[in-house]
């Protein structure tokens, strides 16, 4: 199977429109950045290392799907 044909089949099978993909890209990316910044800010509060770890991890996980949108 040719690569171009496989790519065309994948895009034809997708039901998400381009605008939906762009919207979710922005949502995932912004949410990831926001959680990462919040986690970094919480690093400087007393006993904030656990909150830093949670929010920074959530931020990275939220930002991961952004390139796939």
pLDDT tens track for 12-38: 767 778 888 888 888 888 988 998 898
CA 18 to chain centre: 17
CA 19 to chain centre: 16
Per-residue pLDDT, 18: 82
Report whether 35 contacts 62 (CB < 8 A).
yes
Other beta carbons less than 10 A from residue 22's beta carbon: 11
Per-residue pLDDT, 17: 81
Band (pLDDT 50/70/90 cuts) for residue 8 is confident
Predicted model pTM: 0.66
pLDDT tens track for 49-62: 999 999 889 888 88
């Amino acid at each position: 199977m040719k690569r171009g044909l496989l790519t065309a089949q994948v895009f034809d099978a997708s039901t998400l429109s381009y605008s939906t993909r762009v919207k979710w890209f922005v949502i995932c990316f912004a949410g990831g950045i926001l959680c990462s910044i919040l986690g970094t800010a919480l690093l400087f509060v007393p006993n904030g290392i656990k909150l830093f770890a949670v929010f920074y991890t959530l931020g990275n996980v939220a930002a991961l799907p952004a390139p796939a949108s």
